[in-house]
Amino acid sequence: MNLRDLAKKDAVHTIEGEQAGNTFCTLSDGVNTWEVPMILSDIGYELDTDGNRVAGRTCWATYIADRVYVEINGSKKILTPRKGWRLSWTDIDARQQEMFVIFAEPDKTVGWTRLFMAVQLKGDAA
């Protein structure tokens, strides 16, 4: 096993392994829906340039990229989420959360995708 294969195996174990305790999320493009285990982060404060806490929200999720796909003529086509796709999950307080993808960063080395999200989209929302 080469180093890249080992890194992908470790990523799958970290994100999807039983020990991970990560959240199953529902990702939707408006037509298709996928149930995918993810690592989520939803931070409610940020720091300004002086180090003071200010209101803000930084939300991202990471999942194994080949879990989001469609079948076309018997072939698996991996999809990268686009702006406006919806992501929903139940948080640690048992509350339903829903956010929208702003952009996605697919990693072509290890095989995961990181999503950056917003509570709502304004303007040119999908």
**Per-residue pLDDT tens for 97-109?**
899 999 999 998 8
CATH class of this structure's domain 3-118:
mainly beta
pLDDT at 122: 62
pLDDT in tens, 16-71: 877 777 788 999 999 999 999 998 888 777 777 888 887 777 889 999 999 999 99
Tell me the C-alpha to C-alpha distance, in Å, between residue 52 and each of 25, 43, 44, 49, 59.
32, 15, 14, 7, 20
Sign of CA dihedral 106, 109, 111, 112: negative
Tell me the range of 106-110, 111-115, 122-126 where mean pLDDT is highest.
111-115
Tell me if 27 sits within 8 A of 70, measured CB to CB: no
pLDDT at 125: 47
